[in-house]
Structures are given as structure tokens and as C-alpha cells.
Amino acid sequence: MKSRNVVRLFFSTLMVGGISTIILGFIIRWSEYQPFFSTFNIKEILSITFWLLGLGFIFSVISQMGFFAYLTVHRFGLGIFKSLWSPVQIILIVFVIFDLVYFRFQWFAQSEESILAYVLFPILIFTYGLIVAYIKKSQTNKHAFIPAMFFMVVVTTIEWIPALRANEESWLYLMLFPLLICNSYQLLALHKLIKKS
């Protein structure tokens, strides 16, 4: 890929992360920010908007680091495991989904809390990953499905670790959704930029 396309991908992903975090931030924390809108406090609204934009840029950079790290890992995986790389990725996807349920439950569950409450995020990530992987496969070829699924599930979960450690509900949503959006954007834009190059 040409360097100008790498730069284009970087800045476009940065904007996707920033704008999506602004929109999602106001939606997720509406009860907290609603008083500023009802009193037309423009100064507070602008300061929150810029804060969310900066946060979105940070999420975007984390997403991009994960994306380029995955491209490197994928090349190594193909070189080391060859035809076994797809089964290895499937095993890792299952392992990460299980860990996302089990370890979150072990670390954060209250005494009477059900494990079912900890299944929502893994199901959400897995379902979204399936949709993006299917789109990637339909736009490129059938061999792209498992790598896309691996990236959307495993790499997104690794990128999401800071919010997982905090385990505060609004932060979990606020970080996860922009990461999913940025990751899917990069994944679906990559083959188009390579074709242009």
C-alpha cells in the first residue's frame, strides 16, 4: 500500500473514532449531560464535545495500533502455522469469548449475581464480528472470513482491556463501540486502499 493511502487511512480512522465517540458519548451519558442542553449551556456542551473528541482520537489510535499489530501477527501466523493458522484462530476466538465471560464473572460478580449478566458483551462482540466478517468475505474472498472474525473478536477484546479493568458500565460501552466502529472501518477499507495502490 502506498504511504499516502496509509496516511489517509490513519486520518480517516481518527475522524471516525472522534465523531463516533462524540455521538455515542452523548447517548450513553445523556442523563449526565442532559441538564446542559436543557439550560443551553453552550460552554459546557462544547467542552464535553471536545473532551469526547479527544477521547475518540485516543480510542482510534488504540484501534489502529491493534490493527497494524494484527496485520503483523497474521503474517507470522501464516508463516509459522501455514494451513493450520485458520484452526488456531478459531481456537483463540473461542478461548477469548470464554475468558471474557468467565474471568469477568470471577473478578467482578457480586455474591448473588448470575453469570448470564456477563454474557451480553461477548455475544454482542461475537455477533458484530460475524456481520463484519461476512461483509469482508463478500467484498474479498471466502478466506477472509476467519481472519476478519479473529480481528473483530480477539483484537478488539485486547484493545478494550483498560475499560474491562475499570469495569464501570458507561466506560465499557463508551470504549467498546468506538473500537468496534474503528476496527470494522479499517478492516473494510484496507482491501479498497490496496486496490487503489
pLDDT in tens, the chain (197 residues): 678 888 899 999 999 999 999 999 999 988 888 888 888 888 989 999 999 999 999 999 999 999 999 999 999 999 999 889 999 999 999 999 999 998 888 888 887 778 887 899 999 999 999 999 999 999 999 999 999 999 999 999 999 999 988 888 889 999 999 999 999 999 999 988 888 76
What is the dihedral sign for C-alpha 122, 128, 131, 132? negative
Cell of 75: 503474517
Question: How many domains, the chain?
Answer: 1
Structural domain harbouring 174: 58-196
- The model's pTM is 0.92
From the number of C-beta atoms within 10 Å of its C-beta (0-12, 13-18, 19+), residue 135 rates as middle
Would residue 134 count as lying in a domain? yes
